[in-house]
Amino acid sequence: MHQPPIPHVASADPEIAELIEGEARRQFEKIRLIPSENYVSVAVLEAAGTVLTNKYSEGYADRRYYEGQQFIDPIEKLAVARAQAVFGVDHANVQPYSGSPANLAVYLAFLQPGETVMGMALPMGGHLTHGWPVSATGKWFRSVQYGVRADTGRVDLDEVRELALRERPKVIFCGGTAIPRTIDFPAFAEIAAEAGAVLVADIAHIAGLIAGGTHPSPVGHAAVITTTTHKTLRGPRGAMIMSTAEHAKAVDKAVFPGLQGGPHNHTTAGIAVALHEAAQPEFRSYAHQVVANAKALAAALLERGYSLVSGGTDNHLILIDLSPQGIAGKPAAKALDRAGLEVNYNTVPFDPRKPFDPSGIRIGTPSITTRGLTQEHMPRIAAWMDEAIIAAVKDDEPSIDRVAGEIRELLTGFPMAGWA
């Protein structure tokens, strides 16, 4: 059953309660490999489900537009102080509702409509909010995009510099949503300084790895840092903007009153709990295990003949081009889901297929590491993935069902926060 129990939901709305219980069981029974997903602790679940959701708190601590903030202000102050301590930043704003609004606040703080922003192209591993044309950030601002080299799958920083000096963007984003390699923050900082741009590091995917010391930090290189609070950080669905003291006022004004009203106080409490957990020695061990698992899984997939973008991974994420297997990403992802392996279909650099039917899949190890799986399990996971993909090509549904059963059996030995 769901943990904490939800008897009041079951009594008031059994239909919703049944769906929640079903989702909890699904998360328990599947090998969850989507790199942007994770399991939060029961403590985070409890904090995010409290009466804090009842309270409006427009403004910032000690500067609110509503009375009754005697307990809300200390909660937000704790979250801010913990973010500052975990990441070593001058300033932190914990109010953004999610990663995309946090990035949009950056535009409001540093750009006027029509001015130039530079980011990694979405098909190359960037994010929608880094100026991609279908996003508001690409519609309202002039966007220039950099990519990766076809031969290495890695960012060509010489090309980035040439583009930045030619286009003179006001803001440069580094980071993205499908980058399996270490981000060279010092090199991006040098380019931004030479081009006269504000460097923004979007660390949504790697925040937990940075907190745990397994990926270099952008602090001291990027003036502004945005991140979600879930993914590798194992917090609730929220976001933060961190910055140097110089940009604190601009960032805060952009979030409120620029884009948002009252913060979600229950989420702020969950973020505070997650940051407290991230400051513990156990979290450092977790972050190192995430990377060790990803490297082991990548090696096992390479042994089975899979084509990995950039040839492997430095972090939690692996991007796979399934063209050699004779199957597109979308049908492969759906077959893997039926087999108990949760992934997402994804474009790969220079993908000849359309984004909604791309050539690749994206996987990662944050969730399975939280469950307690280690390097020794990665060859078995790679084998299950291979079996399911081969079965999908052959339309062999019994093999897919068999794999799902084997996975359920394995996972009974690995507890999950949120399911008892």
> pLDDT tens digits for 4-52?
999 999 999 999 999 999 999 999 999 999 999 999 999 999 999 999 9
Question: Which pLDDT score is estimated for 8?
Answer: 98
Write the CA distances from 133 to 62, 122, 156, 199, integer angstroms: 40, 9, 22, 20
User: Is 67 among the catalytic positions?
Assistant: no
Single out the catalytic residue among 25, 29, 37, 56.
Answer: 56
Tell me the pLDDT tens digit for each residue of 47-61. Answer: 999 999 999 999 999
User: Is 58 among the catalytic positions?
Assistant: yes
Count the neighbouring beta carbons within 10 Å of the beta carbon of residue 13: 13
Single out the catalytic residue among 58, 184, 190, 401.
Answer: 58
Please, which pLDDT band fits residue 185 given cuts at 50, 70 and 90?
very high
Domain boundaries, the chain: 47-278, 290-411
Pick the closest to residue 173 from 222, 213, 219, 241 (CA basis). 222
Tell me the pLDDT tens digit for each residue of 109-167. Answer: 999 999 999 999 999 999 999 999 999 999 999 999 999 999 999 999 999 999 999 99
Single out the catalytic residue among 231, 295, 330, 371.
Answer: 231
Instruction: Tell me the pLDDT of the chain averaged across its residues.
Output: 98
Count of helix runs (H) and strand runs (E) in the chain: 16, 15
**CATH topology for 290-411?**
Aspartate Aminotransferase, domain 1 (3.90.1150)
Question: Which pLDDT score is estimated for 270?
Answer: 98
User: Is 231 among the catalytic positions?
Assistant: yes
**CATH topology for 47-278?**
Aspartate Aminotransferase; domain 2 (3.40.640)
Write the CA distances from 256 to 109, 166, 207, 261, integer angstroms: 11, 34, 23, 6
User: Is 286 among the catalytic positions?
Assistant: no
80 phi/psi in degrees, rounded to 5: -65, -50
Single out the catalytic residue among 25, 77, 142, 237.
Answer: 237
Which residues, in sequence order, are CB contacts of 57 under 8 Å at separation 6+?
64, 66, 69, 72, 76, 262, 263, 265
Single out the catalytic residue among 32, 82, 146, 202.
Answer: 202
Question: Which pLDDT score is estimated for 100?
Answer: 97
Sign of the torsion angle spanned by Cα atoms 252, 254, 255, 256: positive
Cα–Cα distance measured from residue 197 to residue 216, given in angstroms and rounded to the nearest whole number: 21
Which amino acid appears at position 146 of this protein?
Y
Single out the catalytic residue among 228, 267, 347, 370.
Answer: 228
Question: Which pLDDT score is estimated for 330?
Answer: 98
Question: Which pLDDT score is estimated for 206?
Answer: 98
Question: Are residues 284 and 212 in contact, defined by beta-carbon separation less than 8 angstroms?
Answer: yes
Q: What is the CA radius of gyration of the chain?
A: 22
SS3 call for 350: coil
Write the CA distances from 160 to 129, 149, 310, integer angstroms: 18, 11, 18
Question: Which pLDDT score is estimated for 327?
Answer: 98
- State the burial class of residue 56 (Cβ atoms within 10 Å of its Cβ: 0-12, 13-18, 19+): middle
**For 176-201, what is the mean pLDDT?**
98
**For 63-70, what is the mean pLDDT?**
98
